[in-house]
Amino acid sequence: MNDERPPRRSGLRDPVAAARGLGAATLGLEALVLVLAIQPIRMLGAGFGTSAMAASAGLAVGAVVVAGLLRYRWAWYAGTVLQALVLLAGLLHWSLLGVGLVFAVVWAYVWHVRRVIAG
């Protein structure tokens, strides 16, 4: 009775799918926040208001696309690039910098959870 199976890293049935779901939910929430940020940018936007609104809309679409592609390994890195682009969009409007900072920290945590539960 020498049962030497390697221990499971988590109690989840499919840890890869769970990590993918967490990443997709995070990107989906980020897309929603970016879309909702358009109105305050329009009301408060000064010099780059139109550019910031276009960037926010484009980044929201990008977040939804990447969320749908997380079954591919490269899409996780694309999500990281997306976080950097949101931070960069903070140059257009300070509110995008705030969104970028919050979701960059959340995305780093998602990467940590993915590494822990999916191996």
In the chain, where are the structural domains located?
15-118
Q: 68 is written with which tokens?
A: 């749908």
Residues 5-26: pLDDT tens digits?
A: 665 556 678 888 989 999 999 9
- What is the pLDDT, as a whole number, of residue 12? 72
* pLDDT lower than 70: segments of the chain: 1-11, 45-46
d(CA 90, CA 10): 38
Q: Are 98 and 52 in contact (CB under 8 A)?
A: no
pLDDT for residue 77: 97
Instruction: Tell me what pLDDT residue 9 has.
Output: 57
Q: What is the pTM of this model?
A: 0.86
